[in-house]
Amino acid sequence: MVPHSTIQAAEFRDVVLVVHAGAGVVGREECDPAMQDEAQRQLQAALQAGYAVLASNSFTSLDAVGAAVRVMEDSPVFNAGKGAALTADGTAELDSAIMSGLDLHAGAVANVTTLKNPITAARLVMEQSRHVLMAGNGAEKFAIQHGAETVDPSYFITPQRLRSLEAKLREVSATLQSNAPAPAQPYDRFGTVGAVALDSAGNLAAGTSTGGITGKRPGRVGDTPLIGAGTYADNRSCAVSCTGDGEIFIRTVAARTMAALVEYRSLSLVEAVTEFLTNHLAPLGGQGGAILLNQAGEAAIAFNSPAMYRGVLWKNGKTLVVDGLGRVASD
């Protein structure tokens, strides 16, 4: 069991975009202030990319979510796209999903290895196919046929993630030799990025992208690309993007559970996410967090892990970001 942590929750009004870049524990390397400064810059860039979209009536909340997530996928600081966590084989296997609150249309990809921006591929699945989830080579071939940008798999591998993998493999080896329980390393399990957005037409969207878990078995798929688990959007309730213990988020159908608490029990967003973390996630030993946004521009951010990268954009263009050390920057 993971020790239950105190839930940190906040609610906001007049919001059009919320982003997160993972919940968990900031490791020794990530405590470097320069790295945290870069994380703040990238969170601000993601919010500004989304704001540029929302400021134009030609684009939608889906466009804003895609723009914000792509910025974070392109940054080596976060565990998505470039900088993704590596499997036990030293490869990057990427998952992503996007969903429209207007009509419940959704698209997702899993275990892709050459698509530069998995969130773009997820939207292609949503709009250019009759499917919701595509995986592996089939997903890549489909996305490429519809114009997705590709890169060599080595593009995703960074020195930081290689060091994390090497440390993880050493721990596994030592554990096998000693027959001792494996030490808990929460920062190996978190780092997913995501966004939820509200456009001028009142439509919601959610998107999430991840590299998964450091040292995971090749082929493992977490909650991120599973609609209702890591990603969900419905204008009748809210848009949700999750980060945390993927297997538990799958078992609890996390994102849909929070939306259902809003829709059927009339809970506020902060009440719904707090209820989920307290009564669904923590009893199973899980840690993580979520961002939520509704049609009224009400937003909630909550997590029961020691840290969570997050950012908020208001209708007036003002922003607030919090890095993994809890440092706040506003504009």
Could you list the active site residues? 192
85 residue type, one letter: A
Question: What are residue 81's phi and psi, to 5 degrees?
Answer: 60, -135
How far is the C-alpha of 21 from the C-alpha of 40, rounded, in Å? Answer: 10
Cβ proximity of 146 and 69 under 8 Å:
no
How far is the C-alpha of 24 from the C-alpha of 233, rounded, in Å? Answer: 24
Which residue in 296, 326, 295, 298 sits closest to 312, CA to CA?
Answer: 298
What residues does 98 pair with on adjacent strands?
107, 207
How far is the C-alpha of 250 from the C-alpha of 31, rounded, in Å? Answer: 30
What residues does 303 pair with on adjacent strands?
8, 289
Report DSSP letters for 52-79, one per residue. HHHTSTT--HHHHHHHHHHHHHT-TTSS
Question: What are residue 293's phi and psi, to 5 degrees?
Answer: -150, 140
How far is the C-alpha of 300 from the C-alpha of 322, rounded, in Å? Answer: 14
How far is the C-alpha of 324 from the C-alpha of 152, rounded, in Å? Answer: 30
Query: In terms of C-beta density within 10 A (0-12 exposed, 13-18 middle, 19 or more buried), how is residue 264 classed?
Result: exposed
Place of tokens 């908020």: 312
Neighbours of 130 (CB within 10 A): 5
Neighbours of 326 (CB within 10 A): 12
